[in-house]
Amino acid sequence: MARAKMVMHHTVIREYKRMVVYVENHNEEAVYTLSPEEEQKLVALAETMIQHWDIQATTIELIQGGQLALVWKIHTTDGPFCLKRIHRPEKKALFSIHAQDYLAKKGMRVPSIIPSKVNQLYTKHGPFLFVVYEWIEGRPFELTMQEDLEMIMKGLADFHVASIGYKPPPGIPIFTKLGRWPNHYIKRFQQMEIWKNLSATMPDDPFSQLYLAEIDAFILEAKHTHQRLLESEYTKWTDELQTFPNLCHQDYGTGNSLLDPSNQIWVIDLDTVSYDLPIRDLRKMIIPLLDTTGVWNADQFQIMINAYESVSPLTAEQKKIMFIDMLFPYELYDVIREKYVRKSPLLANELAEAMEYERIKSKALNILIEEF
């Protein structure tokens, strides 16, 4: 067996043996640590599963435990490997597994999948699929550094370009979000209307009272954004991509990308990939990052888009669609959902900050949209 490249998944950066779990009944955070017995059981599971591969483990290290997705580092005399239990439903997992195999064989820098003894890309155990990957050594990107910021965006563009042409094998369901944005918008602003009724039942809750007083303007802009999307070339673009779609990572960022010692960019953790417009990943990468500053950083915004376009240029109309999608209040929606669906005890100032960022974002993006 060829010696695998040494790789460090972002899961090594995070300490997954300690997981922060919100305890609703006590409105506080608790840290759950695996007991030695629990950890040993998971190591034993890995010892059992790795026997399905032509890999002789010397030691096994649990990297991520205590949740449905599990990750182990398999040490061997040929270097380390990554054993992962994928937490996605089997049909979705198969779509992503074959996508990663396609990309790796095409030369895209994603961890290669090591076939099992029976030449399969995975082994099934109970309801879960287990996969072995090469282990990538690298560091996470530091987005306060412009060079890293540019590289991570170029890596995303490389991923999108390389993914064009992927089609799952016969019998594997296709997962796509192409053409579904209008319905996603409708679902969200309708839910925001429904939450008004819930907030009205909480007269003593400052968060809910602020929500009642201020949310209508944001719902109105969400509806206006929906109309703008319908009037754009969104449908034309999605129709064009039906034949040769690209993949969207859907969770791209510092947690799912690495820079190796040779200054090469790697994209990891492809479990959630789906067909969609590439700008979906740009929006999910750029807008939350800017949201952490409380101001609209036009320079950072342009640096990220320029870096992406240096690899994969966007047309003027495609950028307009991207700006329209960025205008939709996804981040505000997520804050509200955290309060009313997940029942987190958010304070009114957290809602106020989210609303203020939406106002700042709206002003900047509307100026950009009007330029087209």
Whole-number pLDDT of residue 69: 86
Q: Which fold has domain 10-134?
A: Phosphorylase Kinase; domain 1 (3.30.200)
Which CATH superfamily, name and number, covers 181-370?
Answer: Aminoglycoside phosphotransferase (APH), C-terminal lobe (3.90.1200.10)
Q: Note down pLDDT in tens along the chain; length 372 residues.
A: 333 333 333 333 233 232 322 222 333 333 457 888 999 999 999 999 999 999 999 999 999 887 778 999 999 999 999 999 999 999 999 999 999 999 999 999 999 999 999 999 999 999 999 999 999 999 999 999 999 999 999 999 999 999 999 999 999 999 999 999 999 999 999 999 999 999 999 999 999 999 999 999 999 999 999 999 999 999 999 999 999 999 999 999 999 999 999 999 999 999 999 999 999 999 999 999 998 777 899 999 999 999 999 999 999 999 999 999 999 999 999 999 999 999 999 999 999 999 999 999 999 999 999 988
* Contact criterion met (CB below 8 Å) for 136 and 266: yes
- Relative orientation angle of helices 181-200 and 206-231, to the nearest 10 degrees: 160
Whole-number pLDDT of residue 22: 25
Region for 114 from its dihedrals, namely left if φ exceeds 0, alpha if ψ lies in -120 to 50, beta otherwise:
beta
| 3-class DSSP string for the chain | CCCCCCECCHHHHCCECEEEEEEHHHCEEEEEECCHHHHHHHHHHHHHHHHHCCCCCCEEEEEECCCCCEEEEEECCCCCEEEEEECCCHHHHHHHHHHHHHHHHHCCCCCCECCCCCCCCCEEECCEEEEEEECECCECCCCCCHHHHHHHHHHHHHHHHHHCCCCCCCCCCCCECCCCHHHHHHHHHHHHHHHHHHHHCCCCCHHHHHHHHHHHHHHHHHHHHHHHHHHCCHHHHHHHHCCCCCEECCCCCHHHEEECCCCCEEECCCCCCEECCCHHHHHHHHHHHHHCCCCCCHHHHHHHHHHHHCCCCCCHHHHHHHHHHHHCCHHHHHHHHHHHCCCCCCCHHHHHHHHHHHHHHHHHHHHHHHCC
Whole-number pLDDT of residue 32: 55
What residues does each domain of the chain span?
10-134, 181-370
Q: Model pTM?
A: 0.88
